């Protein structure tokens, strides 16, 4: 299932438009529910029939949950660091990824692999890396941007010597639509510091992550 690596992303590839301050995200549940009902009507559905009667409410609830990463404070997630002297990278493979492509609001699903070389001997618990992925995944997202955001937040809050984030995901907007059923897995990599500047170190780490 793993294809060759196709890209090594430049920094600041995308605008950071989906990074609103967590306390500035305003959710109007009733407006979302009403809009969903109107949307179904616009598609020619009978929203009075039994199966659809509660759908606008359920969709609004589900979408709010799937976008709940917007109110997560990434700095807070990465604030509990502890000292661990090591000169080898910290690696976590196969972190489950569920996100929403911001172009179609359809899921993209896959795995995130994270590695970083601690700068001053400080590391975070592995569960925090999984929470970090969720914080950026649960919002309208683009895979390249997600990959960069995870890498940049680790640089900002852990000051590591190097960071490598590798994301592989299947996009339902590609898989479920169109005539040809194919199974493309989109691969994105963001590297920072040592793993950006030292090709040998990056290749070695990628080989370990595979
Ligand atoms: Zn899409």
Q: Does the predicted TM-score (pTM) go above 0.85?
A: yes
Q: How close is the Cα of 194 to the center of ligand 1, in Å?
A: 32
Q: HSE (CB half, 13 Å, CA atoms) of 19?
A: 14
What domains appear along the chain, each with residue ranges and CATH number?
Answer: 22-66 (1.10.286.10), 81-209 (3.30.1130.10)
Ranges of beta strands (E only) in 84-184 are: 90-101, 107-117, 122-124, 140-141, 162-171
Contact 106, 174 (CB under 8 A): no
Q: How close is the Cα of 209 to the center of ligand 1, in Å?
A: 27
Q: How close is the Cα of 96 to the center of ligand 1, in Å?
A: 19
pLDDT tens by residue, 88-105: 999 999 999 999 999 999
Say which residue, 154 or 7, is predicted with more confidence.
154
Between CA 78 and CA 56 the distance in angstroms is 36
**Range 59-88 average pLDDT:** 93
Positions annotated as catalytic residues are 101-104, 143, 171, 173
């Amino acid at each position: 299932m793993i294809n060759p690596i196709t890209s090594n992303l430049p920094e600041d590839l995308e605008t950071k438009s989906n990074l609103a301050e967590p306390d500035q995200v305003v959710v109007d549940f009733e407006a979302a529910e009403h809009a969903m009902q109107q949307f179904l009507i616009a598609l020619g559905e009978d929203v009075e029939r039994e199966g659809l009667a509660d759908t606008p409410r359920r969709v609004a609830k589900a979408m709010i949950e799937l976008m709940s990463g917007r109110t997560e404070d990434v700095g807070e997630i990465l604030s509990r660091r502890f000292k661990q002297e090591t000169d080898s990278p910290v690696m976590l493979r196969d972190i489950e990824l569920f996100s929403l492509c911001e172009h179609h609001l359809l899921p993209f699903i896959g795995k995130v692999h994270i590695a970083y070389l601690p700068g001053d001997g400080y590391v975070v618990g592995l569960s925090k890396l999984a929470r970090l992925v969720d914080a950026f995944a649960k919002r309208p997202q683009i895979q390249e941007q997600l990959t960069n955001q995870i890498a940049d937040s680790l640089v900002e809050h852990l000051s590591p010597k190097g960071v490598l984030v590798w994301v592989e995901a299947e996009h339902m907007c590609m898989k479920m639509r169109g005539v040809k059923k194919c199974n493309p897995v989109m691969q994105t990599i963001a590297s920072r510091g040592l793993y950006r500047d030292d090709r040998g170190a990056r290749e070695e780490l990628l080989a370990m992550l595979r």
